[in-house]
C-alpha cells in the first residue's frame, strides 16, 4: 500500500512540474516501451537483453526492426537528464517518428554501446524481421546468418516467412533451412523424425552436419551399462579403443588411480634419493627396470608414494567397467531416424564421390594419354625410346609461354600457340631423328642414352634461357571456373578442355593412321620395315615423319599440361616416367593400347590416392609396384601385337 501511494505521489509531482522542451510532445509507443526497461536498454548485458528484445518483438511495433538495427550499430543515444532515447545525429532524431528534435541546451547525450555478445543476440532477433524484408539481399543475409548459426527460436519466424516469399530460389532455400532446423529443434519427436526423414535424400555438407549434430555422442564409463541412457554403442578395450586410452578414461572419471609413467617413476625416485640409495636400493642398480621397480616398491611400502599400478591392476579395472558412447540426444527414436537418414545420405555421397573420382581419373588419363601417345608412336614404329620426349613437352609449353608474352589476348594466343608448338617440336623431332637417331637404329639401348644426353642438354638450355623459376601459362577466362554438378561432384573446365583435346587427338591419330597414305606406310614400316622397303616405301622418310609427328603431339601436350600446371624446365621429366609406364602397360605400337594404358594408370593413381589422400608419394610408389607386377602377367602390355608384327 505505501508503495502505491509513493508512486501516485511521484506521478502527481510529475504532472505538476512544467514540461521540459525535449519532452514537449508525448513519448511515442516505442519510447514508452523502452523507458519501461531503460536501464537494460542503455547498458545491456548478454543475460538481461533477452527480456528487452522479447518485449520489443512482442509489441509488434513497425519501428522495432529499425530500432534493433540501429541499437546493434551503436547509433542510439540516451539523454542523461531525461533518460529518453534518440537516434544519433545532428540534430538527434526521434526514436518513433525519426523526425529531428530539439533538445534542452543542458541535455547530455550519451552513446548506448552494447558489447559484442549483446550485438550478436540483437542480430539473431533481427533475423526474423530480415527474413521478410523487401530487400532480397537482406533476406539472403538473414538466411546466411541462420545457416551459420542456427538457433531454436529461428524456426517459427523462418516458417512464417516461407509463405510470403516471392523469390523461388530463396523459397527453396528457406524450406531447406526450415527442414534442417526442424530436424534439430522441432517441438515434438514426431515433427523431428518427419523432418529427419525428409533430409535423407539430400547430399549437401550442411545437411550431413545437421544429422551428425543430432548423432553427437559423448563417451562414458560405468560399472554397468546404464539403462536409462540412449546408448550409441559399447566399446571393448583393445578393439575399439586402446587399453591405455580406456584406462585414461577410467582415471578421468575418478574410477581408478592414475598410472605412473616411467618418467614419473623416475622423478619420484630422483626425489627420494637418500645417501646414494633409493628405498634401500643403490643408485647403480637403478639402471634397469627391475631395479627401479624394486626401489619404487620399497618406497610404496614405506608409504612415501602411492602403490604402483601394475598391468594386472589395469586389466582388472578394465574388466570391471563397461565403456560406452551415448548420444547427447535422449530419444532413441530420433537418433535411429537420424542414423538411418545419415546412412542413406552417406551412401549417396559415396556414390557421388565415386563419380567425382571417375571424372578426376578420366582427366588424369587424358593428360597421360596426350603425354604418352607421341612416345607410343615413335616407340611402336621405330622401336626407339625417346628419353627427350619429356623435353619436347617442355618445349611446347615454353612455346605457349613465349606466344603469350607476344600476344596478350589469352584466347588468341592459345589458338596461335597450339599449331606453333606442334610446328616447333615437329621440327625439333625431325632434326633429332636426322642428326642422331637414324645412326643408331641397330643400337636401341644406345638410342635411349643418346636421347637422354639430348634431354639433359635441352633441360639445362631451357634453364639458361628461361631461368629456374616457374613460368605461368595463363588459360583464357572462359576456361576458368569449374563445372559443378552438386556439392560433391565437380570438375575444372580446364580439365574438360584437356579431355576434349585428348579425344580430338585420339580421333586425328586414328584417322591419320588408318585412312591416309602416310598412315598406311607407317603401319607397314611398323610391321615389317624390310618388306615395306621392298614395296617401295621409303622407311627413312617414314621414320622421319613419324618421329616428327610423335614429337609434335608432345608439344601440344606441353601446352595442355602447362595450362593447369606451371611451366618449368623440369616439367617434362616429371611426366616422362609416367609416359613410359603408359606405353609399356598399354602395349607398344598401338593407339588403343596407349589409351588403355593411360586409363589404367590414371584410374589406378586416383584410386590409390582416394584410399590415402594425404600421401600422393605413396600412391605413385604403389602404382609403380603394381606396374612391375603387371608386367609379370602381360609382358607385352594390355594390347599386344600378335604374329609377325610382334617382331619375335
Which of 207, 342, 458, 522 is in the footprint of other proteins by CB under 8 A?
Answer: 458
Contact between 442 and other proteins (CB under 8 A)? Answer: yes
Residues 75-94 that bind other proteins (CB under 8 A): none
**Cell 630422483, located at residue:** 270
Contact between 137 and other proteins (CB under 8 A)? Answer: no
Mention every residue, 6+ apart, whose C-beta is less than 8 A from residue 389. Answer: 374, 375, 378, 550, 551, 554, 572, 576, 579
Contact between 440 and other proteins (CB under 8 A)? Answer: yes
Strand 482-484 and strand 231-235: the pairing is: unpaired
Nearest in space to 430 (alpha carbons), one of 555, 552, 547, 556: 547
Binding string, 149-168, against other proteins, x = CB under 8 A? --------------------
Mention every residue, 6+ apart, whose C-beta is less than 8 A from residue 159. Answer: 178
Spatial contact of 295 and 279, defined as CB atoms under 8 Å apart: yes
CB of 648 to other proteins, least distance (A): 8
Which of 362, 371, 537, 581 is in the footprint of other proteins by CB under 8 A?
Answer: 581
If the CB atoms of residues 8 and 456 are measured against other proteins, the closer one turns out to be 456
Binding residues for other proteins, rule CB under 8 A, total 58
- What single-letter DSSP state applies at residue 471? B
Which of 39, 320, 439, 507 is in the footprint of other proteins by CB under 8 A?
Answer: 439
| 3-class DSSP state of 502 | helix
Which of 255, 308, 624, 640 is in the footprint of other proteins by CB under 8 A?
Answer: 624
**Strands (DSSP E) along 63-132, which ranges?**
76-79, 85-87, 93-94, 109-111
If the CB atoms of residues 31 and 459 are measured against other proteins, the closer one turns out to be 459
Nearest in space to 388 (alpha carbons), one of 548, 595, 551: 551
Strand 76-79 and strand 281-282: the pairing is: unpaired
If the CB atoms of residues 332 and 383 are measured against other proteins, the closer one turns out to be 383
For the chain, how are helix, strand and coil distributed in percent, rounded to 5? 65, 5, 25
Q: What's the gap between Cα 203 and its chain centre?
A: 15
CB of 319 to other proteins, least distance (A): 28
Which of 298, 436, 496, 533 is in the footprint of other proteins by CB under 8 A?
Answer: 436
If the CB atoms of residues 512 and 640 are measured against other proteins, the closer one turns out to be 640
Q: Which of the stretches 249-257, 315-323, 446-454, 495-503 binds other proteins when contact is defined by CB under 8 A?
A: 446-454
Contact between 200 and other proteins (CB under 8 A)? Answer: no
C-alpha cell at 598: 593411360
Residues 247-306 that bind other proteins (CB under 8 A): 262, 266, 269-270, 273, 278, 283-284, 286-289, 292
| 3-class DSSP state of 484 | strand
Q: Which of the stretches 180-188, 333-341, 366-374, 579-587 binds other proteins when contact is defined by CB under 8 A?
A: 579-587
Distance CA 406, CA 403 (A): 5
CB of 643 to other proteins, least distance (A): 18
- Bridge partners of residue 87, in order along the sequence: 76, 93
Residues that bind other proteins (CB under 8 A): 262, 266, 269-270, 273, 278, 283-284, 286-289, 292, 379, 383, 385, 436, 439-440, 442-446, 448-450, 452-461, 463-464, 573, 577, 580-581, 584, 615, 617-618, 620-621, 624-625, 627-629, 631-633, 635
Amino acid at each position: 500500500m505505501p508503495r502505491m501511494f509513493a508512486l501516485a505521489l511521484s506521478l502527481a509531482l510529475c504532472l505538476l512540474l512544467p514540461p521540459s522542451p525535449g519532452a514537449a510532445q508525448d513519448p511515442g509507443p516505442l519510447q514508452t516501451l523502452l523507458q519501461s526497461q531503460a536501464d537494460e536498454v542503455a547498458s545491456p548485458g548478454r543475460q538481461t537483453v533477452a527480456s528487452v528484445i522479447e518485449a520489443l518483438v512482442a509489441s509488434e511495433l513497425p519501428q522495432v526492426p529499425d530500432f534493433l538495427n540501429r541499437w546493434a550499430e551503436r547509433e542510439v543515444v540516451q539523454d542523461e537528464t531525461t533518460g529518453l532515447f534518440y537516434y544519433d545525429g545532428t540534430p538527434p532524431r526521434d526514436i518513433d517518428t525519426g523526425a529531428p528534435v530539439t533538445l534542452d541546451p543542458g541535455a547530455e547525450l550519451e552513446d548506448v554501446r552494447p558489447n559484442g555478445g549483446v550485438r550478436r543476440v540483437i542480430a539473431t532477433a533481427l533475423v526474423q524481421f530480415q527474413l521478410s524484408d523487401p530487400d532480397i539481399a537482406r533476406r539472403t543475409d538473414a538466411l546466411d546468418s541462420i545457416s551459420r548459426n542456427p538457433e531454436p527460436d529461428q524456426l517459427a519466424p523462418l516458417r512464417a516467412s516461407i509463405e510470403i516469399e516471392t523469390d523461388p530460389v530463396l523459397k527453396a532455400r528457406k524450406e531447406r533451412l526450415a527442414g534442417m532446423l526442424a530436424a534439430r529443434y522441432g517441438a515434438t519427436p514426431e515433427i523431428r523424425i518427419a523432418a529427419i526423414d525428409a533430409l535423407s535424400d539430400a547430399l549437401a555438407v550442411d545437411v550431413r552436419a545437421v544429422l551428425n549434430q543430432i548423432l553427437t555422442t559423448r563417451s562414458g564409463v560405468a560399472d554397468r551399462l546404464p539403462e536409462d541412457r540412449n546408448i550409441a554403442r559399447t566399446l571393448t578395450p583393445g578393439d575399439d579403443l586402446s587399453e591405455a586410452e580406456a584406462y585414461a578414461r577410467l582415471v578421468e572419471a575418478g574410477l581408478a588411480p592414475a598410472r605412473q609413467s616411467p618418467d614419473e617413476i623416475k622423478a619420484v625416485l630422483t626425489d627420494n634419493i637418500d645417501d646414494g640409495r633409493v628405498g634401500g636400493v643403490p643408485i647403480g642398480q637403478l639402471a634397469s627396470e627391475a631395479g627401479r621397480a624394486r626401489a619404487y616398491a620399497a618406497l610404496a611400502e614405506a608409504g612415501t608414494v602411492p602403490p604402483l599400478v601394475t598391468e594386472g591392476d589395469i586389466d582388472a579395472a578394465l574388466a570391471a567397467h563397461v565403456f560406452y558412447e551415448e548420444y547427447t540426444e535422449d530419444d532413441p527414436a530420433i537418433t535411429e531416424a537420424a542414423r538411418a537418414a545419415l546412412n542413406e545420405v552417406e551412401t549417396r555421397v559415396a556414390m557421388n564421390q565415386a563419380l567425382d573420382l571417375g571424372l578426376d581419373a578420366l582427366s588424369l588419363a587424358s593428360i597421360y594419354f596426350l603425354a604418352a601417345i607421341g612416345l607410343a608412336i615413335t616407340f611402336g614404329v621405330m622401336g626407339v625410346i625417346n628419353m627427350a620426349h619429356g623435353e619436347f613437352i617442355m618445349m611446347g609449353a615454353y612455346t605457349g609461354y613465349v606466344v603469350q608474352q607476344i600476344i596478350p589476348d589469352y584466347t588468341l594466343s592459345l589458338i596461335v600457340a597450339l599449331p606453333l608448338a606442334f610446328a616447333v617440336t615437329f621440327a625439333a623431332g625431325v632434326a633429332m631423328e636426322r642428326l642422331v637417331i637414324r645412326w643408331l637404329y641397330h643400337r636401341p639401348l644406345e638410342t635411349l642414352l643418346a636421347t637422354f644426353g639430348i634431354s639433359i642438354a635441352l633441360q639445362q638450355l631451357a634453364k639458361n634461357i628461361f631461368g629456374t623459376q616457374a613460368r605461368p601459362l595463363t588459360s583464357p577466362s572462359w576456361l576458368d571456373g569449374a563445372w559443378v554438378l552438386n556439392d560433391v561432384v565437380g570438375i575444372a573446365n580446364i580439365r574438360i578442355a584437356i579431355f576434349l583435346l585428348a579425344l580430338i587427338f585420339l580421333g586425328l591419330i586414328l584417322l591419320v593412321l588408318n585412312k591416309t597414305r602416310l598412315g598406311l606406310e607407317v603401319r607397314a614400316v611398323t610391321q615389317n620395315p624390310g618388306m615395306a622397303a621392298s614395296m617401295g616405301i621409303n622407311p627413312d622418310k617414314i621414320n622421319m615423319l613419324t618421329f616428327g609427328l610423335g614429337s609434335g603431339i608432345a608439344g601440344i601436350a606441353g601446352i595442355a599440361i602447362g595450362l593447369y600446371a606451371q611451366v618449368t624446365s623440369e616439367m617434362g621429366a616429371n611426366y616422362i616416367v609416367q609416359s613410359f609406364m603408359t606405353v609399356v602397360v598399354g602395349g607398344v605400337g598401338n593407339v588403343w593400347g596407349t589409351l588403355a594404358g593411360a586409363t589404367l594408370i590414371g584410374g589406378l593413381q586416383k584410386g590409390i590416392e582416394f584410399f590415402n589422400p594425404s600421401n600422393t608419394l605413396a600412391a605413385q610408389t604403389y602404382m609403380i609396384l603394381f606396374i612391375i607386377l603387371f608386367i609379370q602377367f602381360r609382358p607385352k602390355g594390355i594390347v599386344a601385337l600378335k604374329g609377325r608384327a610382334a617382331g619375335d
